[in-house]
Structure 1
Amino acid sequence: MADTRTQILDAAEHLFGERGFHGTSVRAITDLAGANLAAVGYHFGSKADLLAAVARRAIEPINAAQNAGLDRLLAETADPPVADLVAAFVGPLFDGMPAGDEGGARTSRLIMTILGDPAEEVRTWMGAAEDAVRDRYVAAFGRALPGLAPEELWFRMRGILAVVAVDRAEVHHQPAPDCPAPDTGEAPRRWAITFLAAAMSAPPTD
């Protein structure tokens, strides 16, 4: 049996991903976790702190793999090409949200929530570690794409997250009747890297 803290994290990850931050009550989390209402305050402090803990548990392994991938590239050259940077950034997202895996499904729903939920608590959960990964990739892409304005570069990087998150969410849902079933193998990773490398490398917008 998982300990109470882990049970609360599991329940909160499921409910935040399904209902969003404001749509999820602390009571619903503790009911699903089989814990008493005071346990959230004891282990986490507040619902916002619980969201931050849930997000970091899901995303820290992805961030660590992204950092390691960038380290490998930079050990080979100070200025890795765009396609290699995209692969190093995207690969861990696919690894962290595998098809046919309930943990991957929860992570994909959580990331979609982080991208789309307007609640301030969802916008402000990140800390220094997450900022550092983002800033390293922004700097590396900036060197590879020197003609791109910082605002457009960051827009394109958000596009990377959105494309991968939508694909990963799609593999865990039944396709619409008129749409082909999503590919659950390795092909989507290759498609994403090809597509996103081309999108990142497009000329700056006039």
Structure 2
Amino acid sequence: MGEEESRGRDTRERLLDAAGEIFAQRGFRAATVREISRRAGANVAAVNYYFGDKERLYAAVVKYTFSKAVEKYPPTLGLENSSSPVERLKAFIRSFLFRILDEGRPAWHGQLMMQEVAQPTAALDQLVDEAIRPLSNRLMGIVRDLLGADSNDEKVRLCTMSIIGQCVYFGHARSVITRLFSQTFGPVEIEHLADHVTCFSFAAMKGISSTGNPVSMG
């Protein structure tokens, strides 16, 4: 990579980081290109040069944030395809929880993603199609393996959404959880949560009959 290309990539990443912080703090509408450029130490024209406009910069920031998280915590966590469905389920849940709760990531990463989910923009459509749907399909495949090949699509979807819902809850309700239970979210605690969500979800799926109703516990 040449020196000029390296400088260009550095400027682009500085803009993405600065924009992410400001979008997370102020929201898309209140954020200004001038403030973003100033924080990034770049010329105002750099946003148009690298991204075109504020809307496309925002979409790039959302994609950048998500891709950084997946790069650090891939859904397989290095497991082979031959691993058991339960092992693959646990790896998926662990990676999901670490992406949401990792205190080693910049705080604005989680803030921005939660903000985008709560108040979606056009950027979410692109993110769903390019990044979230493939992850969802992967989890649905694991769920289908656990439920059995005869399970209908609705049952697979509902179980998939239930697993995702458990994970997302810890991100959305983090500030409440810490106040209610003095819960911390370091690596050890996240591992413990991953074990719990995996066991809870696996037990629930084992308890579902072929008709979609829970098997009688009596």
TM range (shorter): 0.7 to 0.9
Deviation string 1:72-92 (CA, Å, 9 cap, x unpaired) is 252234xx12xx334212323
Measure the CA separation in 2 of the matches of 1:24 and 1:74: 43
Measure the CA separation in 1 of the matches of 2:119 and 2:197: 26
Measure the CA separation in 2 of the matches of 1:10 and 1:17: 11
- Relative to the length of structure 2, the TM-score reads 0.69
Matches within 5 A, 1:106-125: 106-125=108-127
Deviation string 1:133-168 (CA, Å, 9 cap, x unpaired) is 33222222222234452442342244144124236x
Q: Which residue matches 1:182?
A: 183
Residue 194 of structure 1: CA displacement?
A: 0.7
Q: Which residue matches 1:57?
A: 64
Matches within 5 A, 1:123-134: 123-134=125-136
Q: Which residue matches 1:144?
A: 146
Give the 3 Å change call, closer, same or farther, for CA 47–126 of structure 1 in structure 2.
farther
Structure 2: gaps spanning 5 or more residues: 1-6
Letter in 1 for 2:171: A
Letter in 1 for 2:143: F
RMSD: 3.4
Measure the CA separation in 1 of the matches of 2:115 and 2:63: 14
Deviation string 1:38-87 (CA, Å, 9 cap, x unpaired) is 21121122333323322333322443443433x6252234xx12xx3342
- Relative to the length of structure 1, the TM-score reads 0.72
Q: Which residue matches 2:3?
A: none
Secondary structure of the 2:62 match is helix
Q: Paired residue for 1:163, among 149, 169, 172?
A: 169
8 Å contact 2:79–2:88 — kept in the other structure?
no
Give the 3 Å change call, closer, same or farther, for CA 61–32 of structure 1 in structure 2.
closer
Give the 3 Å change call, closer, same or farther, for CA 184–154 of structure 1 in structure 2.
closer
Q: Which residue matches 1:85?
A: 88
8 Å contact 1:86–1:197 — kept in the other structure?
no
Deviation string 1:4-46 (CA, Å, 9 cap, x unpaired) is 2122111111122233333433333223323232211211223
Name the count of aligned residue pairs. Answer: 194
8 Å contact 2:37–2:43 — kept in the other structure?
yes
Secondary structure of the 2:82 match is helix
Letter in 2 for 1:66: P
Q: Which residue matches 1:68?
A: 76
The higher-RCO structure (CA 8 Å, 6+ apart) is 1
Deviation string 1:82-123 (CA, Å, 9 cap, x unpaired) is xx3342123234444422x3x342222122123212323334
Structure 1: gaps spanning 5 or more residues: none
